[in-house]
Homo-oligomer: A and B are copies of this chain.
Amino acid sequence: MFESAEVGRSVGKKEYARRVAVLRTRLLKAQQALAGTNLRLVVVVGGVEGGGKTEVARRFLDWMDPRGLSVEAYSERSDEEEERPEYWRYWRTLPPSGHGAVLVGSWYTRPIVMRSFKEIGSGAFDQALDRAMAFEAMLIRENTVLVKVWLHLTKKEQRRRFEELESDKDTAWRVTKQDWAFAKKYGRFREVCERALTKTSTGAAPWTVIEATDRRYRDLAAGEAVALSLEGALARTATPAPKPAPDRAKPPKVSILSRLDLTKRLDSDDDEKFDKQQTRVALLSRRLRKEGRSMICAFEGVDAAGKGGAIRRLLAAIDVRNARVIEYGAPTDEERAQPYLWRFWRQLPRLGKTTIYDRTWYGRVLVERVEGFCAVEDWKRAYAEITAFEEELAEAGVIVCKFWLQISPEEQLKRFTAREKTPFKQHKLTEDDWRNRAKWDAYQAAAVEMIEKTSAPDAPWTLIEGEDKRWARLRVMKAVADRLEEELG
């Protein structure tokens, strides 16, 4: 892979000036066009130490308008980052639609370094690369122009570069001990990188390997790769996507939902049962911080299924300083300028904390599917993306509880009618609620498929018979307590 980047390419001063003039205009024009679209630009700059990743990033800031382009350099993780899944820092620095970011270092850095120093085996390394690819595939489908450039130096050239820097007192500080540690392992490092690049050079997000010996050639090659990708993506947006159609699937006659026994009830004198589960949740959730864990409780169900009441009851068992409830309605404009999972990532709890999601990322395969808010291929790919998201959570020690609250259409009607009559509950009933009711079957079909496709050992669905509110609330509490016990031992 690297041989073709060891042939001695270079660009003369004059040619450089001429080509840069053309390139700058192209980049500025493309950036300007980008600002008016829902696309974002992400440039991953990887490569060997000494190859000039930061210099290349600097070049982009020089050539383009820095007000629409940020440079993200990922150094040490802050404690807020340490306490969340590995990719949280990449999610939080994603540029919004219309903007761009040049990443110095990326999701590749950690696995490559760890593998080079044999801190992880080849299996774990491949898994990390799979994650990177899945993340990139998601980014691309979520309107990201992803450009990956790799700056390559031969062993000899790298050594020469370090020595050159060290010989000048103004630049000597730029060569660190770690750089030399890498240089010593050049061969090993090269092998690991080759594996990484070969595996992750996909059709949609190929690596452009650039010979970085000559700075002029290097910068031009990087700039031209970005201009080309950006122009191509912008040209494609000229053809507007067809308006997605709503999905009106019928649920199977017999399904995991139809088989729920909605006659289950809890007598109101069963208060001890509540007390028992409440105490369990209280004691167990208090241990989260000490065990280096956090928790997510996700609630889905048709309107008036009782999510609010169940959440309130659950919340009462958790230390109020460590829990937060987020209700998801229409996204804000900052959220709309990001991939659909972004608004959920931003609320991930720190260690010891719990976030309760009232409606969740499953909106993609429920309301967005049924109402035709996204294309068929978008909600179809969401199952895998969501599964991957929850895997990342579980790996980072997040305890994931997911609830589907099921009621009958008759019970829903009863609750709607009751809401209409209670003054301070009227606001909970909107015209949308009545409209959604008409699509009952489609929502049930979507729910059945969702539950089947996204149940995982580390992120199981708990189906709740919701017809009796007390029964439902107790079931939720018990399920959370059981999950906590299972995970915390």
Return the chain B residue nearest A68 by Cβ.
B327
Query: Would you call A427 an interface residue if the criterion is a C-beta within 8 Å of the partner chain's C-beta atoms?
Result: yes
CB distance from A68 to the nearest CB of B (A): 8
Query: Would you call A10 an interface residue if the criterion is a C-beta within 8 Å of the partner chain's C-beta atoms?
Result: no
Complex Cα spacing A316 to B63, Å: 11
Q: Are A320 and B57 in contact (CB under 8 A)?
A: yes
Return the chain B residue nearest A319 by Cβ.
B54
Query: Would you call A377 an interface residue if the criterion is a C-beta within 8 Å of the partner chain's C-beta atoms?
Result: no
Q: Are B62 and A316 in contact (CB under 8 A)?
A: yes
Query: Would you call A78 an interface residue if the criterion is a C-beta within 8 Å of the partner chain's C-beta atoms?
Result: yes
Complex Cα spacing A327 to B70, Å: 11
Q: Are B79 and A324 in contact (CB under 8 A)?
A: no
User: Which of B73, B324, B423 is close to A321, meaning CB atoms less than 8 Å apart?
Assistant: B73
Q: Are A66 and B312 in contact (CB under 8 A)?
A: yes
Chain A, residues 34-58, CB within 8 Å of chain B (1/0): the string is 0100000000000000000010011
Known: A71-B324, A320-B57. A32 touches B333 (CB 8 A): no
User: Which of B29, B66, B323, B326 is close to A315, meaning CB atoms less than 8 Å apart?
Assistant: B66
- Interface of A, helix, strand, loop or mixed by DSSP: helix
Most buried by B among A62, A67, A68: A67
CB distance from A276 to the nearest CB of B (A): 14
Return the chain B residue nearest A76 by Cβ.
B79
Query: Would you call A334 an interface residue if the criterion is a C-beta within 8 Å of the partner chain's C-beta atoms?
Result: yes
Q: Are B424 and A54 in contact (CB under 8 A)?
A: no
Which residues of chain B are near A324, meaning CB under 8 Å?
A: 70-71
CB distance from A192 to the nearest CB of B (A): 24
CB distance from A307 to the nearest CB of B (A): 10
Which residues of chain B are near A29, meaning CB under 8 Å?
A: 423-424
Query: Would you call A405 an interface residue if the criterion is a C-beta within 8 Å of the partner chain's C-beta atoms?
Result: no
Chain A, residues 285-319, CB within 8 Å of chain B (1/0): the string is 00000000000000000000000100110011001
Query: Would you call A487 an interface residue if the criterion is a C-beta within 8 Å of the partner chain's C-beta atoms?
Result: no
User: Which of B67, B75, B312, B323 is close to A325, meaning CB atoms less than 8 Å apart?
Assistant: B67
Complex Cα spacing A317 to B333, Å: 34
Q: Are B358 and A25 in contact (CB under 8 A)?
A: no
Query: Would you call A104 an interface residue if the criterion is a C-beta within 8 Å of the partner chain's C-beta atoms?
Result: yes
Chain A, residues 425-457, CB within 8 Å of chain B (1/0): the string is 001000000000000000000000000000000
Q: Are A424 and B32 in contact (CB under 8 A)?
A: yes
Which residues of chain B are near A268, meaning CB under 8 Å?
A: none
Q: Are B308 and A65 in contact (CB under 8 A)?
A: yes
Which residues of chain B are near A178, meaning CB under 8 Å?
A: none
Query: Would you call A28 an interface residue if the criterion is a C-beta within 8 Å of the partner chain's C-beta atoms?
Result: yes
Query: Would you call A80 an interface residue if the criterion is a C-beta within 8 Å of the partner chain's C-beta atoms?
Result: yes
Which residues of chain B are near A78, meaning CB under 8 Å?
A: 78-80
Q: Are A54 and B321 in contact (CB under 8 A)?
A: yes
Chain A, residues 16-41, CB within 8 Å of chain B (1/0): the string is 00000000010011001001000000
Q: Are B320 and A54 in contact (CB under 8 A)?
A: yes
CB distance from A321 to the nearest CB of B (A): 3
Which residues of chain B are near A167, meaning CB under 8 Å?
A: none
Query: Would you call A376 an interface residue if the criterion is a C-beta within 8 Å of the partner chain's C-beta atoms?
Result: no
Most buried by B among A315, A320, A327, A333: A320
Which residues of chain B are near A323, meaning CB under 8 Å?
A: 71
Q: Are B424 and A25 in contact (CB under 8 A)?
A: yes
Query: Would you call A61 an interface residue if the criterion is a C-beta within 8 Å of the partner chain's C-beta atoms?
Result: yes
11 example contacts (A-B, Cβ-Cβ < 8 A) are as follows A25-B424, A29-B423, A61-B320, A62-B312, A67-B311, A70-B324, A71-B324, A73-B322, A78-B79, A104-B321, A334-B334
Closest 8 CB pairs of A and B: A73-B321, A67-B327, A58-B320, A66-B325, A71-B320, A28-B424, A333-B333, A57-B320
